[in-house]
Amino acid sequence: DADVTQTPRNRITKTGKRIMLECSQTKGHDRMYWYRQDPGLGLRLIYYSFDVKDINKGEISDGYSVSRQAQAKFSLSLESAIPNQTALYFCATSDPREEETQYFGPGTRLLVL
Amino acid sequence: GENVEQHPSTLSVQEGDSAVIKCTYSDSASNYFPWYKQELGKRPQLIIDIRSNVGEKKDQRIAVTLNKTAKHFSLHITETQPEDSAVYFCAASKSFQKLVFGTGTRLLVSP
- CB-based burial label for B89 (10 Å; 0-12, 13-18, 19+): buried
Nearest CA in chain A to B103: A42
Q: How far apart are CA A102 and CA B45, in angstroms?
A: 8
User: B93, A102: Cβ pair inside 8 Å?
Assistant: no
Per-residue confidence (pLDDT) for residue A2, from 0 to 100: 62
Window 33-92 of A: residues touching B by CB (8 A cutoff) are 33, 35, 40-45, 48, 56, 58-59, 90
Quickly count: other Cβ atoms within 10 Å of residue A59's Cβ.
Answer: 12
User: If DSSP states are collapsed to H, E and C, what string results for A38-71?
Assistant: ECCCEEEEEEEEEECCEEEECCCCCCEEEEEEEC
Q: Name the nearest CA neighbour of B111 among B81, B86, B87.
A: B81
Contact B1 A33 (CB under 8 A): no
B61 neighbors B78 (Cβ within 8 angstroms): yes
Evaluate whether B100 touches B94 at the Cβ level (below 8 Å).
Answer: no
Instruction: Supply the pLDDT for residue A1.
Output: 54
pLDDT of B62 reads: 98
Contacts of A33 in chain B (CB under 8 A): 98
* Interface residue of A25, A46, A102, A109 to substitute, partner B, most B CBs within 10 Å: A102
Instruction: Give per-residue pLDDT as tens, A21-72.
Output: 999 999 999 999 999 999 888 999 999 999 999 999 999 999 999 999 999 9
Tens digit of pLDDT at every position of chain B (111 positions): 899 999 999 999 999 999 999 999 999 999 999 999 999 999 999 999 999 988 999 999 999 999 999 999 999 999 999 999 999 999 999 978 899 999 999 999 999
The rounded distance, in Å, linking the Cα atoms of B9 and A16 is 34
